[in-house]
Amino acid sequence: MSLSINHDRLAAAYRRVRQDLLAERGDCSHWTGRLSSSALSTATAISALSLVQRNTSATPAGDQNSSAPHASRAPSHHARFDHLIARGLRWLADQQNDDGGWGDTDKSHSNISTTMLVRAAFHLTAVPAEHDQVLQRAEAYCRKQGGTRAIVRRYGKDKTFAVPILANSALAGLASWREVSPLPFELSCLPQSTFRFLRLPVVSYALPALIAIGQLRFAYKKPINPLLRSIRTAAVPKSLRVLEAIQPSSGGFLEATPLTSFVVMSLAATGRADHPVVRRGVEFLVRSVRPDGSWPIDTDLATWTTSLSVTALASSSEGPPPSDVLPWLLDCQHRQVHPFTGAAPGGWGWSDLPGAVPDADDTPAALLALDALYDHQSAALQQRIVRAAEQGVGWLIGLQNRDGGWPTFCRGWGRLPFDRSGTDLTAHALRALTRWQKRYAAARDAGTWSTDMPHSARDEMFGRQIQRAIRRGFSFLAARQRPDGSWLPLWFGNQANPDDENPVYGTSRVLLAYRDTGGIGTRWAQRGIAWLVGHQSPDGGWGGQPVATTRPKGPETRAGTAWKSTVEETAVAVEALLAASNHDPAARAASQRGLLWLIEAVESGRHRETAPIGFYFAKLWYYEKLYPLIFCTSALGHAMVAEENGHSQQADSQQAEVVRPSA
């Protein structure tokens, strides 16, 4: 493809964003990034600390004659959390939206879940009267949205987040315990291998919430059935031991403030404020608070952002990614069965911190990063990479679901949304498997692949097993393509779209799998390309639906629309369309306009602007400081290569025209 964009502008934009991404490492060997502060996380942390503080000397709620929230309120003998609570409340008050509600981030629309959690946090502290106007507006917002009924409608059969929200509200005296569904925490005492057969009402990663909030609901409202009451009473000690066993050394379950806070507040409210799980959880919360009084949704996504950064930097011929990241990335691989999900060794989680869990998005990201680093290493390090890749590839193959797709954490948990196979996860896994299958074939032919794994086992894995996994994976993607040609991702959204969907991200990521396997000309890929081309914003970028605006016109105003294109979505769409630009004039034109949008964003400094397109668990919004830089570096890097290849092909063609007559 010969680009019509000025080469100097493209090169300058690429080098600037590449340098900005490299600079984000600081003095570390890897990237840490920075997740957005979260009103939801801040609210749950405040509730947890408040309940620990007021229940430090309380007896278990189950031993009280009264079942009302806070039946036992022994006075705290210390006020060590008062300053954290006060700062957090001030931060929350400053974040309230004009409609009286709160969104997950400072760039998010208000939603009923976050608003109810913030409202509960204010009520659980000793200073709600100081924020009377804030609470009045919040109450009005909750009434307008439908209150507790809106929570039930939002999450349906999935109890993962609905029950914690309603339990938090009940603890604050804002909901009845009858509205809080019981959770079968006694099932946690069964072998972990049986969980996927039990049809649990929560997703696979929510076992701590199942135990702690299940016990909380049981303590405040016991079942009428005497047999069930007896079973759950007997299960309390053992399930607590399970909870203690799966708590990471950092104290933070999944390194996540909300999940850790729900566990802490639940145990504290049942008179266990001094329990080891609570003590470690509180230490995690105190360490995690930011100077402004807020908490992020998770500690960091260091492994994820590092893997993506390495692959993005390898997208052009400007130079290899920094090699000093390799030992750190190799050390992030999980070498033992994970206590939280029972995952086999070989995968990667989103962070190097102990609360991370291996999953089917971070593992292929790490495998692609290792492939990008491989050619620039010594023979000894290449062997380390090969051993890690063999384990990682085997881990991915073992996780594939029967439907051909890949789930996030656990095979066979297909009932609830965030446990089902995802198109973005599947596309990522297919890219990693394809890359390492090619790497193995080349090394085998050259006789340079040498590890402890028997030759026959390697041939089986990198031959028949991978080929079968790839075939099944693409069958899954074909079946999940929507009638309009797009695909929906599991872990990314757009708050401006219906149902928070993000088909731009999903379609772009799936197209990269077709690109990497030579399938960009298939009918499924062509339909996806046509959808992307047809949904380019008038400004040349990609993003959500048009948003209403007003603009002055003389003494009056006139309503209009403006498209909110984002750096992240524009970059992933451009990279996907570049793969089809050689043979598709429409894709070429769209990618050119998108590239121009990105170049202008870099020139004006807008390439650092973040958008809340990330989904954390249960559709909790976040944005990540590094996403615009990573995605933009990758897109512009591929454009640089496309331009170089276009010039090379053009030169070869011109030389052939000169030579042919004389021949």
- The DSSP annotation for 10-77 comes to HHHHHHHHHHHHHHTTTTSSS----BPEEHHHHHHHHHHHHHHHHSTTPPPGGGSS--STTS--PPPS
pLDDT interval class at 143 (50, 70, 90): very high
Mean predicted confidence (pLDDT) in 210-232: 94
Q: Are residues 546 and 588 in the same domain?
A: yes
CA pair distance 638, 258, nearest whole angstrom = 38
> Would you state the pLDDT for residue 200?
65
- Examine the domain organization and report whether 41 and 7 are in the same domain: no
pLDDT value at position 549?
A: 38
Beta bridge partners of 556: 553
CA dihedral angle for residue 519, residue 524, residue 525, residue 527, rounded to 10 degrees: 160
Q: What pLDDT, on the 0 to 100 scale, is given for residue 6?
A: 87
Dihedral Cα 101, 104, 107, 108, nearest 10 deg: -60
514-545, pLDDT tens digit by residue?
999 999 999 999 999 999 999 999 999 999 65
pLDDT class for 222, splitting at 50, 70, 90? very high
**What percent of the chain has a predicted confidence (pLDDT) above 90?**
71
Mean pLDDT for the chain overall: 88
3-class DSSP assignment, residue 296:
strand
Q: Domain ends where: 256, 271, 296?
A: 296
Q: Is residue 614 part of a domain?
A: yes
Residues 350 and 364 in one domain: yes
Residue corresponding to tokens 């498997």: 433
φ and ψ at residue 620, rounded to 5 degrees: -90, 125
Residues 549 and 409 reside in one and the same domain? no
What integer pLDDT is reported at residue 73 of this predicted model?
40
In a domain, 75, yes or no: no
Query: Is residue 352 within 8 Å of 303, Cβ to Cβ?
Result: yes
Query: Looking at the domain assignment, is residue 72 inside a domain?
Result: no
Greater confidence (366 vs 453) lies with 366
3: pLDDT strictly greater than 80: no
Report in angstroms the alpha-carbon separations of 68 from 54, 61, 178, 215, 216: 15, 9, 11, 15, 12
Q: What is the pLDDT of residues 581-635, one digit of tens each?
A: 988 999 999 999 999 999 999 999 999 999 999 988 767 899 999 999 999 999 9
Q: For the chain, what is the domain count?
A: 3
Strand 556-562 and strand 547-553: the pairing is: antiparallel
Is residue 217 classed as helix, strand or coil in its secondary structure?
helix
What percent of the chain has pLDDT above 70? 87
Examine residue 438 and state whether it is found in any structural domain, yes or no: yes
Range(s) of the domain holding residue 347: 300-449+459-471
Tell me what pLDDT residue 486 has: 97
Question: Of 245, 268, 296, which marks where a domain is finished?
Answer: 296
Residue closest to 622 by CA, chosen among 562, 548, 568: 568
CB-CB contact of 89 with 46 (8 Å): yes
pLDDT in tens, 27-77: 899 999 999 999 999 999 999 999 999 988 544 444 443 343 443 343 343
Task: Judge whether residue 354 has pLDDT over 70.
Answer: yes
Indicate whether 52 belongs to any domain. Answer: yes
**CA gap 420, 224 in Å, rounded:** 34
User: pLDDT by residue (tens digit) across 68-127?
Assistant: 344 334 334 345 899 999 999 999 999 999 999 999 999 999 999 999 999 999 999 978
Let me know whether 463 and 510 are in one domain.
no
348 located within any domain: yes
Q: Classify residue 70: in a domain, yes or no.
A: no
Supply the pLDDT for residue 651. Answer: 38
Token duo for residue 469: 């996994």
Q: What is the pLDDT of residues 459-514, one digit of tens each?
A: 888 889 999 999 999 999 999 999 999 999 999 999 988 888 999 999 999 999 99
Q: What are the CA-CA distances from residue 660 to residues 253, 415, 425 (Å)? A: 69, 64, 49
Q: What share of the chain is helix, strand, coil (3-state, %, to 5)?
A: 60, 5, 35
Provide the CATH number for the domain around residue 387. Answer: 1.50.10.20
3-state secondary structure of 558: strand
- The residue to which tokens 């799966």 are assigned: 246
State the CB neighbour count (10 A cutoff) for residue 471.
Answer: 10
